[in-house]
Amino acid sequence: MRAAGRSVRARLRDRIAASDPGLLRLTAGLRTVGAIALTLAVLAPLGADVHLLVAGAMAAMVATFAIREKQLGAQAVTLALGLPVALVSVTLGAVLNARLYAGDVFFVVLIFCAVYGRRFGDRGTALGLIGFQIYFLSLFVGAEVSALPALCGAIAVAFCSSALLRFAVVPATPTGVLLRLRLAFRARLAQLVSAQLDLLDAAPDEMDKALEAVRDGTARLHETAMMIQAQLEEGTPDESAARLVQRRIADAEIAAERLGLLLLTSRSAERADTLTLHLPGAPAPSVGQPAVPDETTATLRRDLQALRALVLRAGSGDAGTGLAHVRNRLLGYRDEENLPPAPAAVQDVFRGIGEAARSVLGLRIALDGPQDESDDTPATARSREELDAEDAAIDGGEEPAEEQETGLRRPTTRAAVQVAVGSALAIVGGELLSTQRWYWAVLTCWIVFLNTASTGEILVKGYRRLLGTVFGVVAGIVLAGLVGQHTWTAFGLVLVLIFAMFYVAPLSYTLMSFFVTAMLGLLYTLLHTYSLDVLLLRVEETALGAACGVVAAALVLPVRTDRRTNELLGTVLDRLAEVTEAAVGQLSGGPADELLDKARDLDQALADLRAATQPLTHPVTPLRARRHTARYVVALLETCAYHARTLAATAELLPTHPSIAADPRLRGAAGRTVRNIETIAARVADEHAAARVETGPSIASLLGSDAGTPRYGRITDRVLRHLERLDEAVVGLARPLGVPMAEPRA
């Protein structure tokens, strides 16, 4: 019974870890709700009226979510600086509340300074956010000079409550966050193996569903790997340890993605490429049951289940003899003589399982230190020796500083000017709608500019906020009717809605806006200012604020969506060329390079491009042709990034792996691919560029013979396949991007 209970708890823990990597959303929600509850618990016995309770609750929320630094010491400094900023802001709000023009001018200046402060990093962003939100708070509760002492006291209590929750009750150190992200990576890796197992067993009419699950699992694993990358510097004791974890995470991610491709290839008539996995909505290839004996399929199924068990136990302290036997068997597939009799495509799946098991072993050694080697087989011992040699070869390197833009070209300066103009328009329009609650339009204008960089992104964000607000108004009406005048019931529901708001914020901006608006309906009820007209006015002010933001973004120092996506596309292509050239250079016998760092830079650039193309790929966009083109281009770039990552990971093994040898011919064979990437990048930067994309013989034939006869060896053949696929995907980019094709060379 106890073992069963532990098993249930472990499965539940893994599911939570996988659904919320690092428990970041759960931590944010609990910390914010706890700070608000503690503030209310302190203020209520002191006889604070409902206005002070609402002000304290809002201040606690602001003090909690505004701080974004990773180190606790930096968080403490920012929180300490935030309190005087908040007190000054609420004081000025109370003093200027009755002075119409002076208050409006100051509000616009404050907004400009708050956005401009983002150029000074997380601390500048936090202090600007606190200043703006507390000034808004003073308008919301109708702060007056006579009530300032009590109001300042409530804000001080809120900041102290936030500090107590942050540093004592729900602390989140970089080391702890990284540990939870590692658990999430393990859980998501196990989920991906489960999806691959379903892909193996899926009937032909179930392939689309099974393949979609593999796509989702691969994307979720990659997302967690990127989150770990962002935490490595602060969460590990030194640079060497960070680079070791980075390499092992990359190895596991690539091995898992490759295993899915090998499984798909074993089920299809033709070799699968990554376009099948990355292109949204792509149909599954024609498949059938593998033409292998039932016992071979049963062995394959058993080994996938064993790999999943190995992943789930990778973080446990005691592997046990049984698990060591499983590990040894899977690692044995890396030796040709241990492969079961089967077609080549199915044998590749067994090899993929062996490589995945090796990556899990490397990840465990990197995270948990040396392991018991008493049960090792010769195959396992060789894997350990390879991993040790790779770890010893790791050396840190300095990254070059990026050139910073200046003046109005600097994004923070441009955004500050835009939001100041948009807020001025929102103030004028908002006061025409309501002289009492005009600030809602300003708040919406401010919010749509946060974390956006183009007119299209602002338009989409404004649309989502308006949609969430409309549905939130309906929910607010229902909740206000149910609560009536029960103050503490309303505060309880407010806490629930705030937790939901923070928990869903990274997932859906529309849902977050829904919970915010529903919460505001309850706050209006608490302040005895609730009415249907007030909530409808909220919708009108939201629409006005979003419109003012879009107008300001479109007319004042505009950054068109096309320009933004072209800039990011050029960055992705530059990063892709760098990774490919460096990886092929190292595989050709050239000097070692920081390949994994370059690969992660490529991943980050691609993530930025994917986010920037959301206005083009949004379902409501009227430009369907552009939507399909944007989705297709991003999918092809996903394909290129996968092959470049794999080439980089293989090249990193070159100095230490006994089965990989440099081949100087690769540099010349891959030169066309690199030139094509640079040609496309030049065309994106200048549509009048005259260069053309080259086509011609296959990469393998450039080495001196056909791709299949004879095979070059398992590792070299894999490198060639990745180079072939990369070359095909790069050429495929030419058509949607309007790059002309050159005549094939004779």
| Residue whose pair of structure tokens reads 């106890």 in the numeric block | 2
What is d(CA 120, CA 482) in angstroms, rounded to the nearest whole number? 46
Handedness of CA 709, 710, 715, 716 (dihedral sign): negative
What is d(CA 422, CA 102) in angstroms, rounded to the nearest whole number? 18
What is the band of 710 on the pLDDT scale with cuts at 50, 70, 90? very low
What residues have CB less than 8 Å from 116, skipping those under 6 apart? 128, 412, 413, 416
Q: What is the predicted pLDDT for the residue at 398? A: 46
Is residue 668 scored above 80 in pLDDT?
Answer: no
Which tens digits make up the pLDDT trace of 385-444?
777 766 666 554 444 444 455 556 677 788 889 999 999 999 999 988 888 888 889 989
What is the band of 490 on the pLDDT scale with cuts at 50, 70, 90? confident
pLDDT above 90 coverage of the chain, percent: 25
Angle at 189 between CA 184 and CA 190, to 5 degrees: 100
Which tens digits make up the pLDDT trace of 291-306?
555 677 888 889 999 9
Is residue 708 scored above 60 in pLDDT?
Answer: no
What is the band of 10 on the pLDDT scale with cuts at 50, 70, 90? low
Average pLDDT for residues 195-200, to the nearest whole number?
Answer: 90
HSE-CB of 330 using CA atoms within 13 angstroms = 29
The values of phi and psi at residue 685, to 5°, are -75, -30
The amino acid present at 213, given as its one-letter code, is: A
Mean pLDDT for all residues in the chain: 82
pLDDT above 70 coverage of the chain, percent: 84
What residues have CB less than 8 Å from 134, skipping those under 6 apart? 59, 62, 85, 86, 89, 90, 93, 155
What is the band of 704 on the pLDDT scale with cuts at 50, 70, 90? low
Q: What is the predicted pLDDT for the residue at 135? A: 95
Is residue 277 scored above 70 in pLDDT?
Answer: no
What is d(CA 31, CA 15) in angstroms, rounded to the nearest whole number? 21
Most confident range, picked from 206-220, 360-374, 567-581 = 567-581
Higher pLDDT, 185 or 399: 185
Report residue 727 as tokens. 């070359």
Average pLDDT for residues 326-335, to the nearest whole number?
Answer: 84
- Work out the end-to-end distance of the chain between its first and last CA atoms, rounded to an integer number of angstroms: 73
Is residue 65 scored above 80 in pLDDT?
Answer: yes
What is the band of 61 on the pLDDT scale with cuts at 50, 70, 90? very high
Higher pLDDT, 490 or 61: 61
Is residue 733 scored above 70 in pLDDT?
Answer: yes
Q: What is the predicted pLDDT for the residue at 707? A: 41
Q: What is the predicted pLDDT for the residue at 318? A: 43
Average pLDDT for residues 362-367, to the nearest whole number?
Answer: 82
Q: What is the predicted pLDDT for the residue at 401? A: 44
Q: What is the predicted pLDDT for the residue at 400? A: 46
What is d(CA 538, CA 561) in angstroms, rounded to the nearest whole number? 29
Higher pLDDT, 655 or 546: 546
Where residue 341 falls (left for φ over 0; alpha for ψ -120 to 50; beta otherwise) is beta
In order, the DSSP letters of 332-401 are HTTSGGGSPS--HHHHHHHHHHHHHHHHHHHHHHHHH-----TT--HHHHHHHHHHHHHHHT----PPPP
Q: What is the predicted pLDDT for the residue at 705? A: 46
Is residue 616 scored above 70 in pLDDT?
Answer: yes
Comparing C-alpha atoms, which of 456, 453, 452, 423 is closest to residue 440? Answer: 423
Is residue 555 scored above 80 in pLDDT?
Answer: yes
Which tens digits make up the pLDDT trace of 595-606?
878 888 898 899
Comparing C-alpha atoms, which of 382, 380, 383 is closest to residue 327? Answer: 380
Chain centroid offset of residue 267 CA? 31
Higher pLDDT, 385 or 192: 192
Comparing C-alpha atoms, which of 253, 252, 244, 188 is closest to residue 367? Answer: 244
Which tens digits make up the pLDDT trace of 627-654?
788 888 888 898 888 888 888 888 877 6
Where residue 601 falls (left for φ over 0; alpha for ψ -120 to 50; beta otherwise) is alpha
Q: Which of 323-337, 428-442, 572-586 has the lowest mean pLDDT?
A: 323-337
Most confident range, picked from 7-16, 57-66, 378-387 = 57-66
Most confident range, picked from 128-132, 345-349, 613-617 = 128-132
